[in-house]
Structure 1
Amino acid sequence: MGSVNVRKNKLYLDFRYRGERCREYTLLADNTINRRRLNQLLEKIEAEIVLDLFDYGKYFPKSKKAAHFSLIDERKRQSIAAIDTHNSPLLSVFADIWLAEKKIEWSKGHYIDVSGVIEKYLTPAFGNQKISSITKQKILQFRSILSQVPGRKGEYLSSSRINHIMTPLRQLLNEAADRYDFNSPWKNIKALKVGRTVIDPFHLDEVESFLNAVPDAYKAYYITRFFTGMRTGEIDGLQWKDIDFVNKTIKVKQALSRNELKELKTESSYRDIDLIDRVVSVLQEHKGSKYTTSTFVFVNSKGRPFCYPVVSRTIWYPTLDAAGLRHRNPYQTRHTYATLLLASGESPEWIAKQMGHSTTTMLFRVYSRFVPNLTRRDGSAFEHFLNNGGH
Structure 2
Amino acid sequence: MGVFVRGNTIWYRFNYNERQVRESTGLENTKENLEEAKFDFKRLKRQLKEDTFDYLKWFPNSPNLEKFGIQKEVPEEEIPRIKFSELAEEWYLRQKKLRLKNTTLKGYKSSRKYAVEFFGDMYVHKIKRIDVEDYIIHLMDRELNNKTINNKLIAVRRILELAYDKELIEENPARRVKNLRVEKSEIEPFTAEEVSLILNHAYKHYHRFYAFYAVLFLTGMRMGEVLAMKWQNVDFNRETYHVRERMTNGDLDTVKTVGSKRHVEFDEDGIVLEALKEHKKYSFMKSDFIFLNQYGNEYTSSNHIKINVWEPMLKRLGLEYRIMYQARHTYAVLSLLAGDNINFICSQMGHASFEMLFRVYGRFIKNNQAKPKINSLISLDHRNQNSTKIAQWS
Q: With structure 1 as the length reference, what TM-score do the two structures score?
A: 0.74
CA deviation vs aligned residue, 1:219-271 (integer Å, no higher than 9, x gap): 11111111112112211111111111111111111112355431211111111
Counterpart of 2:153 (choices 155, 166, 177) is 166
Displacement over 6 Å in runs of 4+? 45-48, 51-56
Q: Name the amino acid aligned to 1:252.
A: V
Tell me: CA distance 1:87–1:294, structure 2 relative to 1, closer, same or farther (3 Å): same
Q: Which residue in 2 is equivalent to 1:301?
A: 294
- Give the match's secondary structure for 1:290: helix
What is the alpha-carbon distance in structure 2 between the residues aligned to residue 174 and residue 203 of structure 1?
49
Counterpart of 2:124 (choices 118, 131, 141) is 131
Contact 2:230–2:290 under 8 Å retained in 1: yes
Tell me: CA distance 1:332–1:47, structure 2 relative to 1, closer, same or farther (3 Å): closer
User: How many pairs were matched up?
Assistant: 325
Which runs of no fewer than 5 residues in structure 2 stay unpaired?
A: 1-14, 20-43, 57-64, 382-394
- Give the match's secondary structure for 1:250: strand
Q: CA RMSD in A?
A: 3.3
**1:217, distance to aligned residue in structure 2 (A):** 1.1
Q: Name the amino acid aligned to 2:275.
A: V
Contact 1:225–1:333 under 8 Å retained in 2: yes
CA deviation vs aligned residue, 1:166-219 (integer Å, no higher than 9, x gap): 111111111222134423223332222222222111111111222233311111
What is the alpha-carbon distance in structure 1 between the residues aligned to residue 89 and residue 124 of structure 2?
13
Q: Which residue in 1 is equivalent to 2:238?
A: 247
Tell me: CA distance 1:55–1:167, structure 2 relative to 1, closer, same or farther (3 Å): closer
- Give the match's secondary structure for 1:265: coil
Q: Which residue in 1 is equivalent to 2:376?
A: 384
What is the alpha-carbon distance in structure 2 between the residues aligned to residue 280 and residue 259 of structure 1?
27
Q: Which residue in 2 is equivalent to 1:42?
A: none
- Give the match's secondary structure for 2:242: strand
Q: Which residue in 2 is equivalent to 1:194?
A: 182
**Does 2:196 match 1:204?**
no
What is the alpha-carbon distance in structure 1 between the residues aligned to residue 271 and residue 349 of structure 2?
18
Q: Which structure has more RCO (C-alpha within 8 Å, separation ≥ 6)?
A: 2
Q: Which residue in 1 is equivalent to 2:48?
A: 49
Q: Which residue in 2 is equivalent to 1:334?
A: 328
Q: Which residue in 1 is equivalent to 2:316?
A: 322
**1:100, distance to aligned residue in structure 2 (A):** 2.7
Tell me: CA distance 1:108–1:50, structure 2 relative to 1, closer, same or farther (3 Å): farther
Q: Which residue in 1 is equivalent to 2:133?
A: 140
What is the alpha-carbon distance in structure 2 between the residues aligned to residue 96 and residue 46 of structure 1?
30
**Does 2:115 match 1:115?**
no
CA deviation vs aligned residue, 1:100-122 (integer Å, no higher than 9, x gap): 33235333333333322332x31
Q: Which residue in 2 is equivalent to 1:91?
A: 84
Tell me: CA distance 1:212–1:46, structure 2 relative to 1, closer, same or farther (3 Å): same
**1:281, distance to aligned residue in structure 2 (A):** 0.8
Counterpart of 2:208 (choices 185, 192, 217) is 217
Contact 1:339–1:370 under 8 Å retained in 2: yes
Q: Name the amino acid aligned to 1:299.
A: L
Structure 1 stretch 231-240 or stretch 47-56: which is displaced more? 47-56
Counterpart of 2:225 (choices 234, 251, 256) is 234
Q: Which residue in 2 is equivalent to 1:175?
A: 162
Aligned-residue sequence identity (percent) comes to: 27
What is the alpha-carbon distance in structure 1 between the residues aligned to residue 232 and residue 81 of structure 2?
52
